[in-house]
Amino acid sequence: MPASGPRPPRGARPRRAATALLEAARAVTTATRHPARRHAPLTGASSRTWARAVPYGVAAVFTLILLPVTLVVLTQDYRLNGGIAGAAATVQAVPLLLAVTRPVPAWGMVLFAHLVTAIALLWAPGLEGRSWPWAPPGIVGYLVLMVFLGLRERRRTLIGVWLTTGVAGLGFQVASPEHSAGNWVLLLVLSGGLLALSGAVRERLDVQRKLSEQESISEEERARRTLLEERTRIARELHDVVAHHMSVITVQADSAPYRIADLPGPARAEFESIAASARESLAEMRRLLTVLRSDGVSGERTPQPGLDRLEQLVGATVRAGVSVELSGPEIMLVRQLAELSPAVDLSAYRIVQEALSNVVRHAPGSFTSVSVGLTPRHLTVLVVNGPARSGASRVEEVSAGSGQGLAGMRERVRLVGGELDTGPLPGGGFRVAALLPLGAEAEDLPA
């Protein structure tokens, strides 16, 4: 008893069959195109493999069938010389394999083979009563070649192929009307129909591909616009909050010597250092805002800080009341800065800057050691500070992730493909160690 269940709606099966035929044509068209114009199929990796295999399989099957059949027909039916028949069968059938990727050269070889074979058949003893100028196996192979041409070439090329086919058949008709059976007219009609049908399928698939590409471009544009809007909002917030307060600090530090009478020399120098640091921070903030508000097409032209400014950074930290010792092969390092990618150079500077900022905030008065070194393939950065001299140390709170400094370090190190090790020391204090790749290993990574 047949199983009961909902029946498919009327017309569903024809639609399914048409859909299957269209998918097969898409697979053949995709795989027969030139690699530079080949587009990715819409389904997964299995569909891509199937699409590549279909045209080669079709060409191989027809070649294996037509080669012996053409040889037998030419030798037994037309009683053509065996050597000539073998050469003609080979040149007519084997170019079908080339038609998968180069259908126009394959068509030229097949057409030439048919013309030479037709001339040779004029002297064959078995021509009387046989099909001429095209032998039946040759007609089949020629029609298969028309399908490959239609799925691969443009309309102008297809019209030229069809007209050349008609002119060749008409020429044989005029040259030897007593031998012509008129099958060139049949070949002309069938080849024209197949060229028109396969060309229409190719044009439809091209339209679908272009629509899909346009939809992808529209999605990318919407995502890009959303990203730019978010970056603009972040830049606006940074400008309204951080830049405003930094400007106030700069003005207050610059005007303090004039507002406070009889200010001692060390205090005056301290206010000048504060103002200089605030102005530098404002300059970096402006560069950051420019990057956030740009669309990324034109890169930032102002040089980013790097390890060549490490001594200035350490000096500013010393003026803030932290005892810092800079060690490492500084002279050799400066000479080899050209071998560092901009991303690694900036990341190393930012890591030291953030580590010293954490020392100022969480371990005031502690002794800090900054060491930068080189290995054949890596740049090493090590910042170690002792426990705070005044007040309770907040190293444990920092290591637990109370701020964003360590997270920013990890993100920078990850972007350049390096390694970062941070953690408290047994006797108090904190350690930041970074291992960053040199040269081309980090050239294309963002800064």
Instruction: Note the pLDDT tens digit of each residue in 93-150.
Output: 999 999 888 999 999 999 999 899 888 888 888 777 778 888 889 899 999 999 999 9
End-of-domain residue from the set 219, 249, 266: 219
Same domain as 324, residue 208: no
Same domain as 59, residue 197: yes
How crowded is the C-beta side of 206, counted as CA atoms within 13 Å?
A: 14
Angle, vertex CA 402, rays to CA 397 and CA 405, nearest 5: 110
> Does the pLDDT of residue 324 top 90, yes or no?
no
Q: What's the CATH number where 363 sits?
A: 3.30.565.10
How many domains would you assign to the chain? 2
Same domain as 346, residue 207: no
Sign for the pseudo-dihedral over CA of 275, 277, 279, 281: negative
How crowded is the C-beta side of 429, counted as CA atoms within 13 Å?
A: 17
Asked if residue 382 is part of any domain, the answer here is yes
Asked if residue 231 is part of any domain, the answer here is no
Asked if residue 97 is part of any domain, the answer here is yes
Predicted pLDDT at 398: 39
Q: Could you please report the per-residue DSSP string of 27-75?
A: HHHHHHS-GGG----SS-HHHHHHHHHHHHHHHHHHHHHHHHHHHHIII
Distance between start and end Cα atoms, the chain? 71
pLDDT digits (tens, 9 = 90+) for 49-76: 776 788 888 889 999 999 999 999 888 8
Give the whole-angstrom CA distance, residue 430 versus residue 444: 32
Closest CA to 169 of 131, 195, 125: 131
User: What is the span of the domain harbouring residue 82?
Assistant: 19-219
Give the whole-angstrom CA distance, residue 114 versus residue 140: 12
Low-confidence winner among 35-49, 131-145, 248-262, 362-376 (lowest mean pLDDT)? 35-49
Asked if residue 315 is part of any domain, the answer here is yes
> Does the pLDDT of residue 8 top 50, yes or no?
no
Yes or no: say if 316 and 274 are a contact pair by the CB < 8 Å rule: no
Asked if residue 260 is part of any domain, the answer here is no
pTM for this prediction: 0.45
Same domain as 179, residue 323: no
Asked if residue 131 is part of any domain, the answer here is yes
Mean pLDDT of 157-170: 91
Yes or no: say if 110 and 92 are a contact pair by the CB < 8 Å rule: yes
End-of-domain residue from the set 171, 193, 219: 219
Same domain as 319, residue 206: no
- Mean pLDDT over each residue of the chain, to the nearest integer: 77
> Does the pLDDT of residue 31 top 90, yes or no?
no
Same domain as 310, residue 192: no
The single residue listed with the structure tokens 């037994």 is 76
Same domain as 212, residue 315: no
Give the whole-angstrom CA distance, residue 427 versus residue 366: 13
End-of-domain residue from the set 166, 184, 219: 219
Give the whole-angstrom CA distance, residue 303 versus residue 329: 23
pLDDT digits (tens, 9 = 90+) for 299-318: 445 567 788 888 888 887 88
Same domain as 323, residue 191: no
For 163, the token pair is: 């007209």
Residues 6 or more apart whose Cβ sits within 8 Å of residue 438: 339, 340, 341, 344, 374, 377, 378, 379
pLDDT digits (tens, 9 = 90+) for 39-52: 444 344 555 677 67
Asked if residue 226 is part of any domain, the answer here is no
Yes or no: say if 380 and 420 are a contact pair by the CB < 8 Å rule: no
Yes or no: say if 84 and 15 are a contact pair by the CB < 8 Å rule: no
> Does the pLDDT of residue 35 top 60, yes or no?
no
The single residue listed with the structure tokens 């396969």 is 198
Asked if residue 441 is part of any domain, the answer here is yes
Angle, vertex CA 406, rays to CA 426 and CA 418, nearest 5: 95
